[in-house]
Amino acid sequence: MSISTNLAHVVENIRRAAWEAGRTPEEITLVAATKTQSDDVIRQAIAAGVTVCGENRVQELLSHWETGAYEGAQVHFIGHLQTNKVKYLMGKVDLIHSVSSQKLLLEIDKQAGKAGLVQDILLEVNLAQEPSKSGFFLPEVLPAAQLCTQLSHVRLRGLMCIPPAVQEPSENLPFFHKLKALAVDIKGKMGDNKTDMTILSMGMSNDYPAAIAAGATHVRVGTAIFGPRAPISNSF
Ligand SMILES: *Cc1c(COP(=O)(O)O)cnc(C)c1O
């Protein structure tokens, strides 16, 4: 299957899931998870209609950036981010989905300040409290969101989650609903008009229609567009 055929299929599924949920397809942004893909494949995907590339390794992002492979698309950072690498992303990524600790939040604010910009971010929530995964635990999310309002160089745009790997896509529905409810709750508690919290980043190749049913605005899809990756790259 070619990338453009796969992409058309994913776009069609997004449309269907949106209409079935009483939403419009325009509410949903497809983030193509381009990890491990070559410059050439990334260019093909953009030529086929991908408008946002999601990267999860700083090194890979920088190398694609240098060769201009992302031309014509936005770049989002979706993977685990080490504080010492934040500085390399400034000015290159429109959105960081995976802000998973207060330390990271403060570092992004600092580096964005140095670069003279305001960085759009999402807070990553570890809904199932899995020790092997990063992300804020439920009770930590509101304090982190409130901290964002004190920082002048980050703008909180919403929440993100990576639920546990499951067999049936529908098994993650409760997690997707939980993230949606959490976003609504936090928005209500923030009170002031400072929040532009409109984004819910959830859903991957095996469950993006379920995520859309539960309110996802951004789905991160790799395998369904590019085919299977080498096993070593499957871990987060
Ligand atoms: C790789 C990756 C995805 C996409 O995973 P697929 O199962 O290949 O669609 C989504 N989100 C994150 C954070 C990823 O690293």
pLDDT tops 60 at residue 232: no
User: From the CA of 152, how far away is ligand 1's center (Å)?
Assistant: 30
**Which residue's C-alpha comes closest to atom 5 of ligand 1?**
222
* Interatomic CA distance for residues 225 and 182, integer angstroms: 30
Question: Could you report the per-residue pLDDT of 168-188, keeping only the tens digit for each?
Answer: 888 999 999 999 999 999 999
- Helix 173-190 and helix 138-150: axis angle, to 10°? 40
Tokens of 78: 């979706």
User: From the CA of 191, how far away is ligand 1's center (Å)?
Assistant: 33
> Structural domain boundaries of the chain?
3-226
pLDDT tops 90 at residue 8: yes
pLDDT of residue 194: 58
pLDDT tops 90 at residue 190: no
Over range 7-29, report the average pLDDT. Answer: 98
**Residue ranges of the alpha helices (H) in 74-207?**
86-89, 102-115, 138-150, 173-190
Distance of CA 79 to the CA centre of its chain: 8
Alpha-carbon separation of residue 43 from 63, 78, 155 (angstroms): 14, 19, 30
CATH C-level class of 3-226: alpha beta
Is 53 in a helix, a strand, or coil?
A: strand
pLDDT of residue 107: 98
User: From the CA of 141, how far away is ligand 1's center (Å)?
Assistant: 22
Neighbours of 5 (CB within 10 A): 11
Question: Could you report the per-residue pLDDT of 194-220, keeping only the tens digit for each?
Answer: 568 999 999 999 999 999 999 999 999
* Interatomic CA distance for residues 23 and 211, integer angstroms: 13
Better-scored residue on pLDDT, 196 or 105: 105
pLDDT of residue 195: 65
Question: Could you report the per-residue pLDDT of 150-159, keeping only the tens digit for each?
Answer: 999 999 999 9
Over range 113-129, report the average pLDDT. Answer: 97
Over range 81-100, report the average pLDDT. Answer: 98
pLDDT of residue 234: 46
Closest CA to 53 of 212, 83, 158, 43: 43
Over range 134-148, report the average pLDDT. Answer: 96
- Indicate if the alpha-carbon torsion angle 1, 58, 56, 70 is positive or negative: negative
* Interatomic CA distance for residues 205 and 222, integer angstroms: 6
Binding site membership of 79 for ligand 1 (Cβ less than 6 Å): yes
**Which residue's C-alpha comes closest to atom 6 of ligand 1?**
222
pLDDT tops 90 at residue 193: no
Q: What is the pTM of this model?
A: 0.95
Better-scored residue on pLDDT, 196 or 67: 67
Over range 142-166, report the average pLDDT. Answer: 94
* Interatomic CA distance for residues 182 and 30, integer angstroms: 22
